[in-house]
């Protein structure tokens, strides 16, 4: 075997861990769009972002999710984090200070310059004491620094043995428990109530990887903590998540709604007793997991996906027939409120939560293109969770969206990741590269996203690349443009091209920015109304929206005027300062009106 072959065989080969994967461009553009849309929608509903640790004490999830659930007992990534020597020494030092009082300690430690130094010195002394046998250890000069403490350490050696131990930690499998922990830890109950928080990021579960399900997966969620349990709050949360799915362009969603009452003898506990009795009658027709749950958690059987159990489960009593009058009124009000807001839903009496602190409203949203695992969002009310985790009594409601499944569903509907650049600049030689680089810097300064290929491109190649990537504006700079002091600009959606003076780059760039913003927002309004926007000229989209009555005649006139002005500038015509100011002012007004249209579509 040659030395080169042996070296090649020894070369390590690393791959992503099973159940995880890399998200790469251009797909990440779609992920970014989803997340930015969530930020925009949630902010408009008064929510603020919270960023949470990836690791938490395992007991937090054991309390919040349930010690006997599959998530806690089988699926969490957990590890033991032992206390290091300095942590142990710190505990021992604190015990010593408590034992002998601050005056003696202050006198003995006066020569030390920092608290950490004191702890390190204490650690060293402590380790020596622990290793010594009676009569063998001789402390240093008792009149200097820590020497004065060593004798004391020997006297109370047993009392100063530092506690041994550590903490069991887990990668977070979900975020609701972490949000509640943060609410308690930071005293958010003292803030104006309710507190509205949203989050997004990776979660971790040791599950069998399959379509739309990973061991590292991503969630977008929101929680409302504190305040009242008014049905209006439930409707607000549901309306917001429905608005988000509409804004991100997801079609074919279904909202399912239910109420599980609350945990009392005249409400859910009464139903659970009746359900358990009925389940015992059909025990032989249930699988092993469901038979086990008859005793431990019968509500979870209603959520079973086993095909051979569906007929039996569908014949069981419905929970909404047994909840108390107060919970029925709450549920009726939520439904009435949603109907008044135009939010469509289907009732699903099998939609339940198995833990005691969950109560009343539960909801789920499904989407197309995901097979049998079609749920992309689940939520509900959990008024007892904050108190269960050691906080004050506090109402709570929230939801979590599976971002992986959401992106998968969008892709199955033909929503493709789009290139984020607004302008592509193609160059043809070294001299034109220098000009292209300067122009790119100017356009970026006014707010445009610019792509500049790293190799020479002929004009047709550059424009073709921009078209393939969905970049609306192509610019070409070659030897002839450099000598003439111009650059060629092409508006791809209009199929028009013109030469523009380079000394007007900043002015043109600013106007092009508003043109791009108008084009993107008009396309978004059209998409929200089910209009195909692929490779469509702007004025063609406007014509469709006007014909459908989405855009009124006055607004349509303003949009046409704005595009005409920006196109004149792009074609090299000189605009006065007044014309530029008027065009930008009109564009700003149009952008505002189109943002309203987007929300009307939602």
Query: In this structure, are residues 395 and 194 in contact, taking their beta carbons and an 8 Å threshold?
Result: yes
Question: What is residue 184's predicted lDDT score, i.e. its pLDDT?
Answer: 96
Report, as ranges of residue numbers, the positions in the chain whose pLDDT lies below 50.
Answer: 85-86, 88-89, 99-116, 126, 129-164, 599-602
pLDDT of residue 235: 96
Record the pTM. Answer: 0.69
3-state secondary structure (DSSP) of residue 239:
helix
Q: Could you write out the three-class secondary structure of 506-560?
A: HHHHHHHHHHHHHHHHHHHHHHHCCCCCCCCCHHHHHHHHHHCCCCCHHHHHHHH
Strand segments (E) across 189-304 = 195-204, 216-225, 254-259
| Cα–Cα distance measured from residue 551 to residue 565, given in angstroms and rounded to the nearest whole number | 20
Q: Distance between CA 80 and CA 97 in Å, rounded?
A: 29
Instruction: State how far the alpha carbon of 304 is from the alpha carbons of 213, 298, 308, 393, in Å.
Output: 18, 11, 10, 32
Token digits for 22? 């890399």
Cβ atoms of 559 and 542 closer than 8 Å? yes
% of the chain exceeding 90 in pLDDT: 28
Place of tokens 């469709």: 544
Q: Are 555 and 593 in contact (CB under 8 A)?
A: yes
Task: Give the pLDDT score at 109.
Answer: 43
Do residues 224 and 237 touch, judged by C-beta distance below 8 A? yes
CB contact at 8 A, 397 and 223: yes
Q: Cα torsion for 359, 190, 241, 378, to the nearest 10°?
A: -40
In CATH terms, the fold of domain 27-77+169-267+323-412 is BirA Bifunctional Protein; domain 2 (3.30.930)
Return d(Cα 425, Cα 452) in angstroms, integer: 5
Instruction: Assign 170 to helix, strand or coil.
Output: strand
What confidence score (pLDDT) does residue 54 get? Answer: 96
Main-chain phi, psi angles of 78, to 5 degrees:
-120, 155
Q: Specify the 3-state DSSP secondary structure of 294.
A: helix
Question: Which runs of consecutive H residues, i.e. helices, occur in 69-210?
Answer: 70, 85-100, 102-108, 115-131, 147-155, 176-185
d(CA 37, CA 39): 5
Query: Can you give the length of the chain in residues?
Result: 602
Distance CA 580, CA 575 (A): 6
Residue pair 394/189 in contact (Cβ under 8 Å)? The answer is: yes
Are 256 and 348 in contact, with CB atoms under 8 Å apart? yes
Q: Identify the pLDDT of residue 114.
A: 41
Q: How far apart are CA 327 and CA 487, in angstroms?
A: 69
Q: What six digits make up the tokens of 405?
A: 């499944």
Tokens for 318? 């419905």
The CA-based angle 399-210-350, given to 5 degrees, is: 45
Taking the C-alpha atoms of residue 175 and residue 61, their distance in angstroms, rounded to an integer, is 9
For the chain, give every domain's residue range.
Answer: 27-77+169-267+323-412, 85-155, 423-601
pLDDT tens-digit series, residues 344-364:
999 998 888 766 678 999 999
pLDDT for the residue numbered 377: 94
Q: What would the two tokens of residue 521 be?
A: 């927002």
Question: Are the C-beta atoms of 567 and 491 separated by less than 8 Å?
Answer: yes
pLDDT on residue 236: 96
CATH superfamily for domain 423-601: Anticodon-binding domain (3.40.50.800)
What pLDDT was estimated at residue 132?
47
Which of 395, 377, 376, 375 lies closest to 385, judged by CA?
A: 395
């Amino acid at each position: 075997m040659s030395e080169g072959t042996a070296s090649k065989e020894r070369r390590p080969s690393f791959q992503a861990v099973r159940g995880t994967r890399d998200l790469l461009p251009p797909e990440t553009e779609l992920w970014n769009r989803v997340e930015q849309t969530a930020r925009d929608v949630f902010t408009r509903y008064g929510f603020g972002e919270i960023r949470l640790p990836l690791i938490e004490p395992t007991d937090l999830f054991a309390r919040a999710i349930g010690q006997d659930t599959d998530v806690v007992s089988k699926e969490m990534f957990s590890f033991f984090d032992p206390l290091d020597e300095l942590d142990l020494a710190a505990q021992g030092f604190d015990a010593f200070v408590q034992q002998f009082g601050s005056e003696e300690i202050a006198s003995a430690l006066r020569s030390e310059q920092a608290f950490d130094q004191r702890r390190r010195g204490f650690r060293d002394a402590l380790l020596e004491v622990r290793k010594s046998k009676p009569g063998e250890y001789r402390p240093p000069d008792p009149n200097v620094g820590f020497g004065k403490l060593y004798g004391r350490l020997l006297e109370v050696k047993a009392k100063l043995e530092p506690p041994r131990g550590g903490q069991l930690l887990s990668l977070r499998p979900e975020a609701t428990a972490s949000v509640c922990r943060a609410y308690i830890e930071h005293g958010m109950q003292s803030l104006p109530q309710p507190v509205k928080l949203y989050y997004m990021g990776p979660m971790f579960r040791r599950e069998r990887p399959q379509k739309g399900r990973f061991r590292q997966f991503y969630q977008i969620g929101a929680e409302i903590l504190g305040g009242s349990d008014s049905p209006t709050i439930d409707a607000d949360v549901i309306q917001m998540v429905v608005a988000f799915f509409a804004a991100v362009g997801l079609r074919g969603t279904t909202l399912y709604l239910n109420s599980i009452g609350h945990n009392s003898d005249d409400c859910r506990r009464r139903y659970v007793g009746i359900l358990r009795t009925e389940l015992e009658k059909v025990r032989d027709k249930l699988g092993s997991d469901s038979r086990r749950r008859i005793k431990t958690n019968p509500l979870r059987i209603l959520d079973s996906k086993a095909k051979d159990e569906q007929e039996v489960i569908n014949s069981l009593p419905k929970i909404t027939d047994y909840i108390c009058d107060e919970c029925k009124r709450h549920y009726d009000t939520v439904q009435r409120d949603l109907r008044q807001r135009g939010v469509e839903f289907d009732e699903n009496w099998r939609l339940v939560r198995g833990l005691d602190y969950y109560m009343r409203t539960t909801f789920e949203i499904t989407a197309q293109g995901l097979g049998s695992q079609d749920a992309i969002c689940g939520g509900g009310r959990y008024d007892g969770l904050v108190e269960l985790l050691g906080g004050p009594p506090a109402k709570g409601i929230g939801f979590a969206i599976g971002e992986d499944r959401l992106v998968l569903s969008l892709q199955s509907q033909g929503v493709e990741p789009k290139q984020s650049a607004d302008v592509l600049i193609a160059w043809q030689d070294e001299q034109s590269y220098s000009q292209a680089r300067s122009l790119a810097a100017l356009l970026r300064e006014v707010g445009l996203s610019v792509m500049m290929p790293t190799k020479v491109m002929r004009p047709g190649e550059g424009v073709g690349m921009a078209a393939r990537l969905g970049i609306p504006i192509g610019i070409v700079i070659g030897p002839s443009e450099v000598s003439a002091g111009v650059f060629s600009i092409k508006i791809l959606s209009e199929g028009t091209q013109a030469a523009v003076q380079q000394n007007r780059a900043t002015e043109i760039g600013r106007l092009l920015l508003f043109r791009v913003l108008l084009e993107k927002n008009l396309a978004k309004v059209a998409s929200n109304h089910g209009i195909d926007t692929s490779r469509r000229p702007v004025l063609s989209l406007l014509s469709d929206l006007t014909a459908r009555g989405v855009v009124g005649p006055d607004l349509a006139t303003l949009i046409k005027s704005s595009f005409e002005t920006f196109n004149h500038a792009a074609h090299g015509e000189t605009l006065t300062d007044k014309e530029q100011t008027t065009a930008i002012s009109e564009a700003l007004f149009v952008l505002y009106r189109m943002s309203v249209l987007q929300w009307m579509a939602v």
